[in-house]
């Protein structure tokens, strides 16, 4: 799997053989916590789609996921995520099903229904 950082607010996940890699456009571009959040959503979505495709007899060699985000006004946080499934070999008749399957990603569900978060400092 390869994650390519496209911009400060966008990345692409695509299937590749070998270990997972993260590529940046420049050597000084850091992998940020927002990149991690988007990567988790992209990887989860790719995984559920790949599982569905396997059962449906569909190939995933050209399945890529792009995630872009915008920041909310106020405290520095993500306000919106835009996930794009790019899958040229997917038959058009399967588009709606793929969109429904993509929404089954557990990270998607978690972000859609915000979890309670607690923080504790312990010694």
Please give the mean pLDDT across all residues of the chain. Answer: 95
Find residue 67's DSSP bridge partners.
11, 83
CA–CA distance from 49 to each of 35, 74, 77, 87, 90 (Å)? 21, 35, 28, 10, 11
Q: What is the mean pLDDT of residues 38-50?
A: 98
Question: What pLDDT is stored for residue 19 in this prediction?
Answer: 94
Q: What is the pTM assigned to this prediction?
A: 0.93
CATH code for 2-112?
A: 3.30.300.20
Q: 57 in helix, strand or coil?
A: coil
* pLDDT tens profile 62-89: 999 999 999 998 778 999 999 999 999 9
Question: What pLDDT is stored for residue 49 in this prediction?
Answer: 98
């Amino acid at each position: 799997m390869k994650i390519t950082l496209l911009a400060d607010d966008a990345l692409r996940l695509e299937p590749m053989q070998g270990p997972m890699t993260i590529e940046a456009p420049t050597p000084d571009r850091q992998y940020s916590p927002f990149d991690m959040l988007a990567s988790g959503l992209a990887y989860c979505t790719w995984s559920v789609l790949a599982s569905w495709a396997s059962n449906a007899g569909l190939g995933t060699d050209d399945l890529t996921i792009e995630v872009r985000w915008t920041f909310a006004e106020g405290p520095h946080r993500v306000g919106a995520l835009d996930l794009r499934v790019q899958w040229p070999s997917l038959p058009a008749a399967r588009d709606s099903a793929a969109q429904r399957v993509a929404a089954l990603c557990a990270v998607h569900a978690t972000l859609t229904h915000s979890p309670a978060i607690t923080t504790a400092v312990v010694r």
